[in-house]
Structure formats: C-alpha cells, structure tokens
Amino acid sequence: MVAKKSAARRAPSNAERAVPTAAERVAPARLTAHEKGTKLVAELLANAPELPLAECSHCGLVWPADDRFFPRDKRTSTGLDVFCRNSKDELSRKYREARA
C-alpha cells in the first residue's frame, strides 16, 4: 500500500503545463480565420501587457475584453458577448450561406 501511494500522487499531465502568458494565448497557429484581429491584438498587448482579456467561446482565441473585440451584451455578467466579433461575423455569414 505504501508503494502504491507515490504512484497515485503523480500529477496528471495537464497539471504540469505552464500557465501561458496573455501573448502566448493569442494562438499564433490559428491565425488564418482571425489573422487581422490577432495581429492587432499582438500590437495592443505589446503596448499594454496588462490589458484585461477574454476568451471567445466559439473560436477559443483570447482577445482584449472590450467592445472593440466583443459586441456589447447586457445579458452577460461582463456586459460583453461570449463570442468575439470575428466569430459573430463568421457565424452570421455561415447562417446566411446556409439559407441561400
């Protein structure tokens, strides 16, 4: 029993991941759909590293938590939509295309 205890205490792999910095979380590998916005965010973060950020529930990218990147929504606790503007545009375009 004593021998098994140390194995059980081994941390799961996801707990070993370092917490990414804000700049790293603006995922560079996923630029394509949101390229323009992501470049702008990188510039903003370079000038203001303490900028509050919010993760989009649709694309999973992290954007500055303000109305330049998230449409306003009075129903949410933050006052901003949970989907970023890019994802909102993408979803409404897909919706229009699906109806056409």
Contacts to Zn ion by CB under 5 A: 56, 58-59, 84, 87
CA dist 94 and 21 (Å) reads 32
Q: Please say which residue, 45 or 56, places its beta carbon nearer to Zn ion.
A: 56
Q: Please say which residue, 26 or 59, places its beta carbon nearer to Zn ion.
A: 59
Instruction: State the CB neighbour count (10 A cutoff) for residue 86.
Output: 20
Smallest distance, Å, CB 79 to Zn ion?
17
Smallest distance, Å, CB 44 to Zn ion?
16
Q: Map tokens 């306003």 to a residue.
A: 72
| H/E segment holding residue 64 | strand 62-64
DSSP state for residue 14 in the 8-state scheme: H
Smallest distance, Å, CB 70 to Zn ion?
9
Q: Please say which residue, 41 or 84, places its beta carbon nearer to Zn ion.
A: 84
87: its two tokens: 């994802």
